[in-house]
Amino acid sequence: MDIVVENIYLLVIVTLISVLQNAFFANKVEQECKAPNAHNTSAFERVSCANRNCMDVYPTFLAVMWCAGLCLNQAPAAFAGIIYIVVRHKYFVGYMGQTSQSTPGFLFGKRILSFLFLMCVVGIFNYLLVRYYGSNYREYVDIITKASSALLLLP
Amino acid sequence: MDIVVENIYLLVIVTLISVLQNAFFANKVEQECKAPNAHNTSAFERVSCANRNCMDVYPTFLAVMWCAGLCLNQAPAAFAGIIYIVVRHKYFVGYMGQTSQSTPGFLFGKRILSFLFLMCVVGIFNYLLVRYYGSNYREYVDIITKASSALLLLP
Amino acid sequence: MDIVVENIYLLVIVTLISVLQNAFFANKVEQECKAPNAHNTSAFERVSCANRNCMDVYPTFLAVMWCAGLCLNQAPAAFAGIIYIVVRHKYFVGYMGQTSQSTPGFLFGKRILSFLFLMCVVGIFNYLLVRYYGSNYREYVDIITKASSALLLLP
């Protein structure tokens, strides 16, 4: 059992942080919902909309992060997950502060999700290469992945 | 392959039950949606809102339950999952029966999700202790977890 | 690690395709959202509603597909997943083209989800039989599952 945990513990930690963030978002909605005269104000609508946009993408994010972590390497996947959580926090706060005319778009964190998606593709491709040709580039791939994950820090 | 199934089969069973419940919720929405003059009545709005609130939390619930089951022990995690399903059913039924002025809050099952979250944290913490210090408290942790999961039955 | 990947790589590929589809859906919503005078037209409402209906079922679909793939056999599960993605695409396109009076229902892909659900149940049942009675019908079950997955191609 500990062999399993060894390969996923970073992913579990990032998942737990994202769950905490979900709870924070849901609490914000609950708070606005219970405020007097809340249902008519735009504050409730904005926070509810921001929460729904975040929740819509959440299963996709979890799926891509776990697949990337299982297929290739958990460290860069967890790192990208952390950055995604930061970006999502900025998006949520930005959504609440804006007037409804200038809301940020529906999508966010495209670069990070693309990076995780690419990690999955590389991992699957590497597995198929090993299986059918016997050539193993995993070491090089790991180094390249870890180095390129630092690029996500660029604004 | 059976070694894998051995460690997750209780979690799979709970997941299947929750999927059945999702199908029940979706059927209720479908039913109200197709009822004559449905789109204007508050019944459709209520059932649709209850369904959406449940679905918003569903990925979070699945993620926490599976992490808790994988990191620590599947039996208490599956037990907490069953209780969560019961609580969700009560929430859904309660939402449909209420007038819109007195809907139950946006959140539900906080105690159970917190318990599962705590299980994950304890599991990760135990793994790190084993890895860096070599001390293994898993047996004690398992006993404590199983005992404390009974506390979830308290109303 | 490659032993893990060997048992899930088809599931990962299907998950990646579904993620691409999610990105396509989200892009459609973003596009309609940014179109001039978008928020009042019914086009935005329809595409947003179609996207939300698809996203509501997405975690359920992922959970059932992965459970079926882990408990029984990944090939038929991934095959059913591919068909589900095709059905979902048809649903989304159909939703956008219709007037709001004749939208397709809230649910779609019931047959495929039921098939995956049944696969899970059979897998769990087979595991319990092996554990408590020692009789292993997995080979027969695998053949029957693969053959019956072809039935999903029927319109």
Q: How confident is the model at residue C2 (pLDDT cuts 50, 70, 90)?
A: low
Structure tokens at B54: 């449940």
Tokens of residue B154, six digits? 């308290």
Name the token pair of B24. 């029940």
B153, B75, B53: which is closest to B119 by C-alpha?
Answer: B75
Question: B4 and C64 in contact by Cβ < 8 A?
Answer: no
Which strand (E) or helix (H) includes residue A76?
A: helix A74-97
Write out the DSSP string of B98-109.
Answer: S-GGG---S---
C108-148 pLDDT, tens digit per residue, is 788 889 999 999 998 888 888 888 887 777 778 778 888 88
C-alpha torsion C34→C40→C45→C48, nearest 10: 20
Amino acid at the residue A103: T
Closest chain B CA to residue C6: B1
Q: What is the pLDDT of residue A64?
A: 93
Residues from B contacting A (CB-CB < 8 Å) are: 7, 56-57, 59-60, 63-64, 67, 70-71, 105-107, 113, 117, 120-121, 123-124, 127-128, 130-131
Q: Residue A15 is nearest to which of B7, B57, B63, comparing CB atoms? A: B63
Q: Do B16 and C105 touch (CB under 8 A)?
A: no
Which residues does chain C have within 8 Å of residue B6's beta carbon, measured at their own beta carbons? Answer: 127, 131
Nearest CB partner across the interface for A124, out of C9, C29, C52: C9
For residues B151 and A130, give the distance between their C-alpha atoms in angstroms, rounded to a whole number: 50
CB proximity list for A137: less than 8 A, separation 6 or greater: A126, A129
Please give the DSSP secondary-structure letter assigned to residue C121.
H
CA-nearest residue to A3 within chain B is B127
Per-residue pLDDT tens digits for B120-141: 998 888 888 888 887 777 778 7
Tell me which chain C residues have a C-beta less than 8 angstroms from the C-beta of B4: 7, 70
Task: Give the model confidence (pLDDT) of A66-112 as tens digits.
Answer: 999 988 888 899 999 999 999 899 888 888 776 554 556 667 788 88
Quick: pLDDT tens for B76-125. Answer: 999 999 999 998 998 888 887 765 545 566 677 888 899 999 999 988 88
* Helix pair B42-71, B74-97: axis angle to 10 deg: 170
